[in-house]
Every structure is written in C-alpha cells, then in structure tokens.
Amino acid sequence: MLDLVRAKAQKWLEGNFDETTKQQVRNLLENNESELVESFYKDLEFGTGGLRGIMGVGTNRMNIYTIAMATQGLCNYLKKNFTHLSQIKAAIACDTRNNSALFAETTANVFSANGIKVYLFESYRPTPELSFAIRHLGCQTGVVVTASHNPKEYNGYKAYWDDGGQVTEPHDTNIIQEVQKIKGIDEVLMQPNPALIENIGKNIDEIYLSKVLALALSPKAIELNREMRIVYTPLHGTGGKLVPTLLQRLGLANVSLVNEQMIPDGNFSTVKSPNPENAEALQLAIKKAFEVNAELVFATDPDADRVGVAIRNDVGNYILLNGNQTGSILIYYLLHRWSELRKLTGKEYVVKTIVTTELIRDIAFKYNVEIFDVLTGFKYIAEIIKKNQGIKTFVGGGEESYGYLAGEFVRDKDAVMACGLIAEAAAWAKTQHKTLYELLMDIFVEFGMYKEKLLNITKEGKSGAEEIEKMMDDYRNDPPLIINDSQVILIRDYFTRKESNMLKGSQRDIALPQSNVLQFFLEDSSIITIRPSGTEPKIKFYFSVKTKLKDRKTLDATSKLLDERIEKIIASLKLK
C-alpha cells in the first residue's frame, strides 16, 4: 500500500500541478506518512450526489485538481446529452467555506474551456437559490460548492440537472462513469474562456425573493403581528444574504440577528459544528432569544438548505423542534390555509421521505390531499415534482433531517423559504390565540402524538463494513416476527422492492428505486427503518412510535411513555 501511495504522490510531483501543491506533496512524503496515505490511497469518489471530502492535496482530497477532473467528466456527459443545443449553459454557486470560491471559479473555468456558458454567482449564495437559477436561466446543469453542515475541514461539490434538482437515474450513474474515465489532470481543459463566464447576483436574488414572498398565505396575520420577536443566525453561512431581507419584506419588523455569526467564516469559529440539528449550534441564538424575549429562533446551515427552529414551550423555556415536528407544523399550516382559502381542487399533493413522520400522512389525509413517499434524499422529492408538473400541484414536503420545500420554483430543500413560512405560521397561530408550541400540541391531540428517534451505530474499517452487511443480511433473511411484544404485520424491503404482508402471507411490488433499506411495521403502529449510510461507516436505525394524546396536560406523561417504548424496541432488537 505504501509503495502504491508513494508512486501516486510522485506522479503529482512530476505532473502538471502548481508549485505550491507540489511542495505540500513533498512535505507529506518527507514528514507525514499517515497523512500521505490518507491523501493518496484512493481517488475521491464521485458519488450520486457529487464529491465530498476533506480539503488538501492528493487524489483522495478536495482540491482544484479533483474538482477540475470531476467537472471535465460532467462536461463530457453534458456534450453527449445535449447535442441538439447550440449552447449548453451551467449555473454555479458556493457557500462560505474555506476554498469554496476558489473551487467555484475552477469549476467555471473548466466549463468555459469546454465551450459551456457559465452563470457564476459573484459571491456566496444559498443552495436553493442555485436550484432556482438553473431553471430560471434555462441551464442544463448546475453546481454548488458546499459540504452542507459538515465540519470546517470538509468541502463538497453537488451536481444538478436541468430541472433544478440534484441528478438522479440514469444521469447520476452515467456522470459517475464519465468522471471515472478521467485518469489525470492532463485530460482536463483548464484554460478558461472569459467570454463565456457571466457574473450574476443581486438580479437573481430579487427574482428569487419575489417568488418566495408570493408563497405567503396570511399577510393579514403578519401585519397584525409585525412586532413578533424573532432571532436568526446563519451560523456563518449563506443564509445571512437573504433570510433577514426576506423576513423584513414579509413585514416582520422585530428580527434580532446573532451578529457574531452573521460574519461569513469558513472556520465556523463560534460553533463546534455548523449543524442546526445540534442544540449546541443554537446556543448563541438561544442566549440572544432570552435577551430579547423572542418567540421564534431560526438557525440555517452553511448553504442554507436546512433550518433548525426553537420555540418557547408552555413554561417559557426554548425547545429545539426536531425535523419531523417542524415539517408537521409546516404541512399542517400549508394545507389548513390552502383549505381555508379554497385553493384545494383535488389535484394537490405533498411529499415526504420514507423515514419522515407518518403524522404528515395523517394531516394530508384529513385534507384529502395525495401524499407521495420517496427514498431518503431530496432529489427524489424533486423528481416527483418534475413528473407531476402541469398535472398536479405540489403544496409542500420535507424530510426529517431539517429540509423543507413549498412551491415548484425551487427543486431542493430551502431553508430561506422555510424561515419565511414558519414565521408566517407562527403569526397565523397568534391570530388563533396560540403559540407555535400550542399549535403543535393541538396537532398531536387531533392526530395522535408521534415520537421519533435516530440511532447511529458506527462500524469502522473493512471489518465494520462487513459487519454492517451481515446485519442487513440477517434482518432481511431472518426478520423478527415480534418486536417489543408487538407483532410485525408488514415488512418493506426496498432492495428486493417487495412488501410482505405478514398477516395475509401476501406480497406486492414497491414502486420506488432499489435501495438497501428495510422497514418493519408493528401492530402497535411503531415503525423501525434500517439503512446503512451511503457516506459514513454507519448503520442507521429510525424509530417511530405513536399513541393518542388526551389533552395538552397529559403531554409529559405521554411523551415519557413513547420514550420508554422506543427504548424497549431498541432493547428488543439487542442494539444496546
């Protein structure tokens, strides 16, 4: 292995690489054998979502050369697919991470060197705005340079198709094949054509914001509650460009910003991790909220496609909503208001992923609105929107990992839009003499209280990967028939694409793409979903439990009961 690694590193010393890169490679060769191995032992894999990895020199790192080779492969595929066009076009954006602007510029240079017209955002922008720009500008592809909420050492490269959604089959696997054909930097066209690169920015901001503002359903509620106190932080990311402006234009005049985190900072120096799913990331925002007595707290991740929401509970403490709770509030609000405004015609639908709460299904059922389940990944929600365009109307959707969308002009999760709609929902709730917390409790009383938990089990290395594979094989070939004293009544295997009804002894096909996911549905309404991670050495267990909630007063006791049920399921599966 070490000889192979040294040989690959030597090619970088002899190849067409800049002198700074070569010096860094020399330093690794002479002084840091372990880092040398990590940097060169394999090629950074271009997966179905693009690239993501630690920044640095080497074939297994994010740098201008791995970016350029990936872009050349994408260019080659575009040229094969759009032979009927006289001009192929691409849009490019980046987040605030270290090197993001450099990587975006590198991508633009390779596109233009290949004769592709480039619309390059002049500075950092949210991922959803890039998705919007692709369709608005009539592009065939788009790239956003971001590693989402990963730690500061990481960066990434997400590829989009002409519908504004991340690439799906067959384009994702075909692009991967083209990228894999690029064996070295000498196969990349690197000399840019400045005439084909056009900077964009504020003009697209304005058009995008106008579209988001047009989604508003309760302008009178906002007007009545324009002084509602909100705290917002972009966690040093791109959301600072647009979220404060959106809230202001909605008519919300009392928005306090976490000034320390409004500063674009690729080191994310005020947080351990810029992930709004983690309560720690909201510490400064919560502190600010107590100072100003805020009703709502928003925190968006670095590329502003996910949002964490904190609200005050019935005793005045701030609680961080999980992704299922925020998604349920959003879908309830949208469908309730669409119904009140007589916008529901029978052709509307919502979408959620298979690991997202079934509460959203119950809400959709109440309003006679169709619901689609898709595999994990927002690109599958975008695919449903594309398939139904002009036939049915997408109201909204989301996933448990803090990503939401409404309307059809963006085709990826959109935290900018979500901040606006959730703030509007809070204003509307106030006109009903409720806080957002009380609205959520009332939803639980009406539909049943749902509780979800995600358990990650990490298995490192080759042996760990084999152990994860064996766990999946065991669950698939010898499934449990009873879990926590409750009978398994349905098993969905998304790898074989078969649903087995254990009561009737029957099977039917699952009309979703193949994926290594298993779901067990229990007689007591519990659901267990098992899925190996595609990017990390983990196997993920999703637990969903449900019971009736008599009234708000019994919330704590009911919540404790559901927590205990989840722990008993985990014990029954011998996961702890």
Q: Are residues 386 and 422 in the same domain?
A: yes
Answer yes or no: is pLDDT of 21 > 80.
yes
Band the pLDDT of 172: cuts 50, 70, 90: very high
Domain-embedded: residue 6: yes
Same domain, yes or no, for 17 and 115? no
Q: Is 339 an active-site residue?
A: no
**Average pLDDT taken over every residue of the chain:** 96
Per-residue confidence (pLDDT) for residue 461, from 0 to 100: 78
Average pLDDT rounded to a whole number, residues 131-159: 96
In this predicted structure, the answer to whether residue 576 has a pLDDT above a threshold of 80 is no
Give a yes or no: residue 22 inside a domain. yes
Lowest-confidence region among 172-176, 293-297, 332-336: 172-176
Find tokens 């609105």 and name the residue. 369
| CA-to-CA dists, residue 472 to 218, 329, 465, 476, 482, angstroms | 47, 34, 11, 6, 17
Residue at a domain's end among 393, 420, 447: 447
- Rounded Cα distance, 36 and 29, in Å: 6
Domain final position from 146, 178, 200 = 200
* 171 and 255 together in one domain: no
Q: Are residues 442 and 499 in the same domain?
A: no
> In angstroms, rounded to a whole number, what is the distance separating the alpha carbons of residues 271 and 269?
6
Q: Please check whether residues 63 and 8 belong to one and the same domain.
A: no
Residue 289 falls inside a structural domain: yes
pLDDT band for position 358 (cuts 50, 70, 90): very high
Residues 220-236, mean pLDDT to the nearest whole number: 98
Nearest CA-CA partner of 396 in 344, 434, 450? 344
Q: Tell me if 258 sits within 8 A of 232, measured CB to CB.
A: yes
Domain shared by 239 and 352, yes or no? yes
pLDDT recorded at residue 535: 65
The confidence band for 3, taking pLDDT boundaries of 50, 70 and 90, is confident
Average pLDDT, stretch 276-295? 97
With a cut of 90, say whether residue 344 has pLDDT above it: yes
What DSSP element (H or E) covers 337? helix 323-340
Mean per-residue pLDDT, 225-234: 98
Secondary element (H or E) of residue 17: none
106 shares a domain with 23: no
**Among residues 154, 172, 200, which one ends one of the domains?**
200
Q: Which entry of 100, 148, 401, 544 is annotated as an active-site residue?
A: 148
Q: How many CB atoms lie within 10 A of CB 198?
A: 16
Residues 385-398, mean pLDDT to the nearest whole number: 97
Largest Cα–Cα distance in the chain? Answer: 72
Pair 383, 559: CB distance under 8 Å: no
Asked if the structure places residue 178 within a domain, the reply is yes
CB under 8 Å to 188, separation ≥6 — which residues?
68, 69, 71, 72, 110, 182
Measured N-to-C along each axis, helices 2-14 and 19-31 cross at an angle, to the nearest 10 degrees, of 150
Overall number of domains in the chain: 4
**At how many degrees (to 10) do helices 359-366 and 436-447 cross?**
80
The CATH number of whichever domain residue 467 belongs to comes to 3.30.310
Residue 217 within any structural domain of the chain: yes
- What CATH number is associated with residue 388? 3.40.120.10
What is the pLDDT at residue 463?
83
Tell whether 529 and 480 lie within a shared domain. Answer: yes
The answer to whether 443 touches 359, Cβ cutoff 8 Å, is yes
Task: Tell me the average pLDDT across 16-32.
Answer: 95
pLDDT tens digits, one per residue of 511-566: 999 999 999 999 999 999 999 987 678 999 999 999 999 999 999 999 999 999 99
- Same domain as 396, residue 330: yes
Give the pLDDT confidence of 435-474 residue by residue, as tens digits: 999 999 999 999 999 999 999 999 887 788 889 999 999 9
Bridge partners for 449 per DSSP: 547
227 in a structural domain: yes
Q: Are residues 195 and 226 in the same domain?
A: no
Q: Which domain holds residue 315?
A: 208-447
| pLDDT score at 1 | 76
* Amino acid occupying residue 105: E
CB neighbour list of residue 263: distance below 8 Å, 6 or more residues apart = 236
Token pair for 535: 């990017």
In this structure, is residue 36 part of a structural domain? no
Same domain, 216 and 339: yes
CA distance 547 to 524: 9
Q: What's the confidence (pLDDT) of residue 210?
A: 98
Residues 311 and 435: beta-carbon distance below 8 Å: yes
User: Model confidence over 240-269: pLDDT tens digits?
Assistant: 999 999 999 999 999 999 999 999 999 999
Instruction: Tell me if 37 is assigned to some domain.
Output: no
Helices and strands in the chain: count of H runs, count of E runs:
19, 23
The helix (run of H) or strand (run of E) holding residue 160 is strand 154-161
- Co-location of 220 and 359 in the same domain: yes
